[in-house]
Chains A and B, each alone.
Chain A
Amino acid sequence: MTRLLQKIVVAIALRLLHAALVELQLLDCTMAQELQKLPKGMSFAIHTGHKAPALTVRWDGRRLQRVIEAGYAAQCTLRIKALAISFRLFTGQMGLAHAYAQHALTVAGEIANVMRLARLVNRAEAYLFPPFISHRILPELPKLEVSPIRVYARIVFGFLKSTYS
């Protein structure tokens, strides 16, 4: 697969991940509780490779806002070492724990924050991927509180309303 195509897929996956986190805060109690534990103002950045898509989010105490400001320094930056690895990570070929185990990530900031982020991403992935994929990439399949179809429906509706911009 060409690098350009990988970039497009990863960019879409990052937007989808953010949208899922926003929607699951409203639909999934476990996710909401996990987010509420974040310190207000906490920010995470995910970099997916050299000149590759990135996602920066900031918890404002109520919602996980996407930060589009250039050069914003997040409190916790998770850098995936290569786009090819990001592609595998965001297409359900590899879980975050395995990426960590394979030294595929570097972290700037407190490692405790990565653990928080990992729990959020793992839970979101359990909704976004079909069970046969989630089962392979997640350390344990969580009990879903709502139907993934409902989550996807809200995400589509959210994109149509430009909720996540």
Chain B
Amino acid sequence: MNPAYFEFQNAVKLLCGQDALERIPDELRHMEAEKPLLLTDAVLLRLGIVKKVHDVMQAEGCVPAALFTDIPVDSSLSVVNRIVAFYREHECDAIVAVGGGSVIDSAKGARLVLSQERDDILSISGMENLHCGRHIPFIVVPTTAGTGSECTGVAVIRNDEQAVKMEFLSPFVEPDVAVLDARMTQRLPARATASTGVDALCHAIEASTCLQSNPLSSAYSMAAIKLISTNLLRATRCGSDIDARLAMSIAATMAGIAFSNSMVGAVHAIGHALGGVCHVPHAEAMGILLPHVLNFNLPVAADGYARILPEMVGWDRAAVIPSSQRGCSLVQAVRELLIQLHECAGIPLRLLEVGVTESQLVRVAETAVNDGALIVNPRAMSVEQIVNVLREAL
């Protein structure tokens, strides 16, 4: 059945595949940008990944006006405000963000503040409440295949004072251009490859089964799930497999487009809280929580899960499973994939492995219940129910 009403937007231009990086200067020229700010983090700088981007830009006559690398793994509102000040100080006219979710979301936040001509990101918090503002050319080069942030209309940024992750939702958060180049993810360690891939899987599953799901977002979700189920283990086991790497990048972007248009659900709501309260890395939280939340949602989402199953395990395998058991089988298939990733890359399967203790669970649940992603979860969740899910995952 079609939803009574839905919206779908994706205005991001995708540069994907061979020599994608080399096309960045041309894109900047089209947007009349001459002094881009290159945003990244210290690790990527040390690994020489940023140098690749810098060099291709320089070779094509587009030298970054400034480089900002002081972005931590878990970026915060204060980091965003510092980027804004840095951008103005160096009189930049565009942003090129090279990194994972933290770098990209910080860049999105800074771009939003700059386009709204403000100083503090907190002054523009909200959902779909902003006007377009001034256009700041914005290119994103993801170095992981998971967040999908290169194509989404949301930035998730930590509020240190409140120990929560805040969501800034606006269509004007979307970058102008996203660059998917396998050279950027090739050196990603196996564990990060696996956990970020699971994050993408989580985006796709939640986007296709939450209350905001729509036919277009579901189409992106299903295609993403198919790509992930075929390529995640390959990319994790053999990092140099360019084809699998690029497939995972495409999958993450498609899952990002899906959830940007239909939101996510309880896995993300609880995952954000785990990040805010216990500093659990987002992607690892997703992998730990996913099977437990799927199991919780099963009584109301079994049909949706059944539709996903063939993409996850293949039509041949799904066809022999009775339709009444397909929802349950999806949960089992996700568990099997996570166990395989645990065995080959060491991703955590329990909250205890990432340092979460029983005493923190209530606080996590009380934070999660106020997360915007929870409102579209297919099944309502109380604090007590979230605590139960967390206990199962402990």
Contact = CB atoms under 8 A, between A and B. Distances in A.
A107 B127 CA distance: 5
B4 A111 contact: no
Contacts, number: 76
A112 B375 CA distance: 11
Interface stretch (B164-172, B189-197, B221-229, B349-357): B164-172
Contacts of B374: 115
Interface stretch (A53-61, A96-104, A155-163): A96-104
Interface string A99-130: 01111111111111111101100000000000
A119 B3 CA distance: 23
A154 interface: no
Contact of A110 (B5, B125, B210, B211): B125
Contacts of B379: 139-140
A102 B380 contact: no
A115 B376 CA distance: 11
Nearest to A114: B372
Interface string B146-182: 0000000000000000001011010000000000000
A15 interface: no
Contact of A111 (B212, B369, B372): B372
A103 B169 CA distance: 11
Interface residues of B, number: 27
Contacts of B5: 102-104
A111 B380 contact: no
Nearest to A119: B369
A109 B126 contact: yes
Most chain A CB atoms below 10 A, which of B125, B127, B129, B379 = B127
A113 B129 CA distance: 15
Given A98-B211, A101-B376, A140-B379, A112 B127 contact: no
A63 interface: no
B146 to A, nearest CB: 23
Contacts of A112: 164, 166, 370-372
Most chain B CB atoms below 10 A, which of A100, A105, A109, A111 = A111
B316 interface: no
Contacts of B369: 115, 119
Contact of B263 (A101, A104, A110, A118): A101
A101 B209 CA distance: 12
Contact of B125 (A106, A109, A119, A139): A109
A106 B372 contact: no
Given A110-B125, A116-B370, A103 B7 contact: yes
B32 interface: no
B315 to A, nearest CB: 30
B60 interface: no
Given A111-B166, A114-B372, A116-B370, A101 B125 contact: no
Nearest to A79: B129
A140 B375 CA distance: 12
Nearest to A98: B211
Contacts of B370: 112-113, 115-116
Contact of A118 (B4, B126, B167, B375): B375
A107 B211 contact: no
B298 to A, nearest CB: 15
Interface string B366-390: 0001111011100110000000000
B372 A140 contact: no
Nearest to B374: A115
A110 B166 contact: yes
Contacts of A140: 379-380
A39 B256 CA distance: 34
B128 interface: yes
A107 B375 contact: no
Contact of B127 (A96, A102, A106, A116): A106
A134 to B, nearest CB: 12
Contact of A115 (B4, B6, B371): B371
A108 B129 contact: yes
Nearest to A81: B128
Interface string B108-129: 0000000000000000011111
Interface string A127-138: 000000000001
Given A102-B7, A111-B372, 14 more contacts: A97-B376, A101-B263, A102-B3, A105-B127, A106-B129, A108-B129, A109-B125, A111-B127, A112-B370, A113-B370, A114-B127, A115-B370, A115-B374, A139-B379
Interface of B: 3-7, 125-129, 164, 166-167, 169, 210-212, 263, 369-372, 374-376, 379-380
11 contacts: A97-B211, A98-B211, A101-B210, A101-B375, A101-B376, A103-B7, A111-B372, A115-B371, A116-B370, A139-B379, A140-B380
